[in-house]
Chain A
């Protein structure tokens, strides 16, 4: 727990790099370990890693500076990151942060003088059904209360190692409330692989086509088509990548799939491998889910021992496939498939220029398939039970089921599996909502619907969603929610392209201005203008969707901002009178002449 001494950085780094075969594409994994040892990335370590991996120093510094969980400044022996999803805010994370900081004499975002502890906010940690949540040195703290904050502060002051803290602080439950075709029956490992070997790869691909399966990660691309494209692309090696970055605020279904259905997911990847004739699998696990790593490694080990991974899988000569887990380090953009591939290669998570697409030029420039966790689970079930069976559930354009992560104002937050085509109202009835005012479907990059739209249906043709379903009851301040989302995009923009890098900041500033009561009608026009620029000029999906919550609010929730607007045609970005406050305090004046009209 106490950081290593700094005298032997060179030696430490050398052995770390060697443990990773001095492979440049292991850079991020190495940096994560350095962060763990020193609680930050010392400049000497950057120089040393660069030498060992034979990379330019700027590349190592560039990667280290990109990820939120890596810190270039000392961040304390205990680094506490409070999850800042809108659901955390709804249950009081701001007050808890204030309490924690005042107890430990901390300034948010700064390390204490003795370098013992730091506290800051981080984007949604995927614990919306356990909020308010936080991370301490990468481990999730759940269901925080004022009492728990006191306890945690005392543990830190007592320098107690995190591994000795009461386990109740870290409790994470699945909260599965409703099951369907995927989650219903326990899956027997090997069943899907056995079916593929019996049926053959071509016939299995035909089954997937027949199932009309579409990707569960958001875009809804036809899985059979994606796999066929990769299969037909020339390349010396093919890669199959499971996207477990799950960064969309309000989404936590992949957490549960990996915690309790990992065999199904790994089996789906293995099925894919057989169809693509590919020899290598990678799972990109978001840094927030580090607590699942050991368990997942254990399952992979068991599957190797059972002949379900490794050489001659299921006794089939020449069927070789294995899966390696890469861990992320706090960057929503790494869920975007080409940024994810860059990150797997150890680089900054910057979306690539396309074409070429990953199907032909992906990981290490080889044909690559990237799919969501849930998509692989579906593929395994289809391989076992057939495409026709799968296609009977749901709607024609959206076959099968969708797992939703439900949180916010409801009696029973958690995981719900529904056939595609289910109405929002039915879902609200199931999870215990009296008076829904708004639902953010699909997270901030999705759609904000109002109480007037509850008959809409979860499906690619109506309300597409990667799984987030965040409920707001009547009386909730939608402007505050939208402000939280605007902050999120501004924080998570990768910074590569102008419209998103600058546009998300300008958008955030204007939303703040309106929330602070200084907005005017012209600010609304400016928000629309920025929305247009981000949607039409940005480089990737993050920029394209970053204005969604703001634009939905402008269209559907005029009540959320109208009474906050000033009746002026122009209002300066800052309040001149407020700026005079310091001067008034110093001079001890508060008479009318000391105020601007």
Chain B
């Protein structure tokens, strides 16, 4: 007997153990997301993927699908709230898109376009954040970190290195690296690590690669975030460059 949920009226089958997000991805239905990547264990922190299931808001990337679940996803109300979350992420860090190498390849920026964000709306925090150029091949700029922990998970679960972690609490939460000096150059991170290529923003950049693809020809110049994310299932090695 096949189990199924409905999302915005469309019936989608799922298998036991799948989340709402998994079921949606399999069926090609887009739920906005930033901290989820189908290759990694779900995390559930950005909250962009919140949907309404049987009348209750749930995090779709972590919530198991259950038979008969009625989900609403692509509604003006939810998309408004998602836009506000993206605006929160913008003002919390220092995102100067025109000056950023990742511009055009950045999923935060693309989420802003996708959700029709016209301004950051909230007051900027302008937090003082660290930049780390100590690694020969990788550049770490915490001004652009949105705490999605994709690099943390990739390094821990795929690279088996635990190069990244989170310290601090609340608004002081921040990415830390696995060395007593606190410098990325003193860890065993390699440019070939999965963690070096998974950052949705410009917080982790590969050195000397910045402008090899000109603006206008970059990922989100060619497709929307939704097309990109839906493509991620079949094409597990997203090449942001």
Residues in A lying within 8 Å of B, measured CB to CB: 43-44, 46-47, 56-59, 61-62, 64-68, 331, 348, 353, 355, 490-499, 501-506, 509, 529, 532-533, 536-539, 573
A539–B170 CB distance below 8 A: no
Asked if A498 meets B85 with Cβ closer than 8 Å, knowing A353-B62, A506-B123, the reply is yes
Give the complex CA separation of A493 and B81 in angstroms.
20
B178: chain A residues within 8 A (beta carbon)? 56-58
Which residues does chain B contribute within 8 Å of A504, judged by CB atoms? 170-171
With A331-B169, A498-B89, A533-B84 known, 8 other A-B pairs at CB within 8 A are A57-B178, A58-B163, A65-B169, A65-B176, A499-B88, A502-B91, A533-B85, A573-B123
Mark interface residues in B28-56 (1 if CB within 8 Å of A CB, else 0).
00000000000000101111101000000
Could you list 23 examples of A-B contacts with CB < 8 Å? A46-B180, A56-B162, A58-B165, A59-B165, A64-B167, A65-B168, A66-B169, A493-B170, A494-B170, A495-B168, A495-B173, A496-B173, A497-B46, A501-B173, A502-B89, A505-B92, A505-B171, A506-B123, A533-B81, A537-B50, A538-B47, A539-B45, A539-B59
Q: A491-B170, A573-B123 are in contact. Are A496 and B45 (CB under 8 A)?
A: yes
Please measure, in the bound complex, the distance between the C-alpha atom of A61 and the C-alpha atom of B173, giving whole angstroms: 12
B98 → chain A closest CB, angstroms: 23
- 9 A-B pairs closest in CB distance: A58-B165, A65-B167, A495-B173, A56-B162, A502-B88, A353-B62, A493-B170, A495-B170, A573-B123
Q: Which of B100-125 contact A (CB under 8 A)?
A: 122-123, 125
Q: Is the CB of B88 within 8 A of A503?
A: yes
B169 touches A495 (CB 8 A): yes
Contact (A529, B47) CB under 8 Å given A495-B170, A495-B171: no
Residue B222 lies at the interface, judged by CB distance under 8 Å to chain A: no
Question: In the complex the two chains form, what is the Cα distance from A499 to B172 in whole Å?
Answer: 15
Q: Flag whether B134 is at the interface (Cβ < 8 A).
A: no
Q: In the bound complex, what is the Cα–Cα distance between A67 and B168 (angstroms)?
A: 8
What's the nearest-Cβ distance from chain A to residue B219, in Å? 23
- By a CB distance below 8 angstroms, the chain A residues around B84 are 529, 533
Cα of A502 to Cα of B92 in the assembled complex, Å = 7
Taking the nearest CB of chain A, how far is it from the CB of B151, in angstroms? 11
User: Once the chains bind, are B170 and A353 in contact (CB under 8 Å)?
Assistant: no
Supposing A57-B180, A509-B123 touch, asked if A497 and B165 sit within 8 A by C-beta, the answer is: no
A495-B147 contact given A62-B166, A355-B64, A506-B122, CB 8 Å threshold:
yes
Per a CB cutoff under 8 Å, which of B47, B162, B169 touches A539?
Answer: B47
**Residue pair B125, A505 in contact (C-beta under 8 Å):** yes
B residues adjacent to A (C-beta < 8 A): 42, 44-48, 50, 57, 59, 62, 64, 81, 84-85, 88-89, 91-92, 122-123, 125, 147, 156, 162-173, 176-180
In contact, B81 and A44 (Cβ under 8 angstroms): no
Closest to B61 in A: A353
Chain A residues closer than 8 Å to B92, beta-carbon distance? 501-502, 505
* Residues on B with beta carbons closer than 8 Å to the beta carbon of A537: 47, 50, 57, 81, 85
Residue of A nearest to B84 (CB): A533
A408–B233 Cα distance when bound, in Å, is 57
A-B contact count (CB 8 A): 120
Min C-beta distance of A565 to chain B, whole Å: 18
- Closest residue of A by beta carbon distance from B91: A502
Q: In angstroms, how far is the closest chain A Cβ from the Cβ of B50? A: 5
Q: Which residues of A contact B156 (CB under 8 A)?
A: 56
Smallest distance from the beta carbon of B29 to chain A beta carbons, Å?
20
Q: Which residue of B lies closest to A354 (CB)?
A: B62
Q: Whole-angstrom distance between the alpha carbons of A439 and B92 in the complex?
A: 34
Given contacts A509-B123, A537-B81, contact A47 B173 (CB under 8 A): no
Bound CA span A118–B156, Å = 37
A536 touches which one: B48, B81, B125, B171 (CB < 8 A)?
B81
Chain A hits for B81, CB < 8 A: 532-533, 536-537
Are the CB atoms of A539 and B177 closer together than 8 Å? no
Specify which of B57, B163, B164, B167 lies most central, judged by the most chain A CB atoms within 10 Å of its CB: B167
The smallest beta-carbon distance between B175 and chain A, in angstroms, is: 9
B165 touches A62 (CB 8 A): yes
CB <8 Å contact, A498 and B47: yes
Beyond A498-B85, A502-B92, whether A57 also contacts B170 by CB under 8 A is no
Distance (Å) between the CB of A546 and the closest chain B CB? Answer: 11
Given contacts A61-B165, A506-B122, contact A353 B44 (CB under 8 A): yes
Neighbouring A residues of B147 by C-beta, 8 Å = 495, 501
B177 partner residues in chain A, CB cutoff 8 A: 58
A533 to B163, CA, bound (A): 33
In the complex, which residue of chain B has the Cβ closest to the Cβ of A494? B169
B81, B163, B169: residue with the most chain A Cβ atoms closer than 10 Å? B169
* CA gap between A397 and B162 in the complex, in Å: 49
Q: How many whole Å from B94's CB to the nearest CB in chain A?
A: 14
State in angstroms the CA–CA spacing of A538 and B179 once bound together: 32
Contact B125 A61 (CB under 8 A): no
Bound CA–CA A492/B91 (angstroms): 20
Closest-CB distance, A175 to chain B (whole angstroms):
32
- B170: chain A residues at CB < 8 Å are 490-495, 501, 504-505
Check A59–B180 contact: CB distance below 8 A.
no
Interface pair A499/B85, CB less than 8 Å apart: yes
Least Cβ–Cβ distance between A583 and chain B, in angstroms: 21
Which residues of B have CB within 8 Å of A502?
Answer: 88-89, 91-92, 122, 171
Q: How far is the CA of A38 from the CA of B44 in the complex (A)?
A: 37
Could you tell me if B88 and A506 are in contact, using CB atoms closer than 8 angstroms? yes
Interface contact A61-B85, CB-CB below 8 Å: no
CA distance A532 to B85 in the complex (A): 12
Q: Which residues of B contact A506 (CB under 8 A)?
A: 88, 122-123
Question: With A56-B178, A58-B178, A353-B59 known to touch, is A498 a contact of B46 (CB < 8 Å)?
Answer: yes
- With the chains together, A490 CA to B171 CA distance in Å? 8
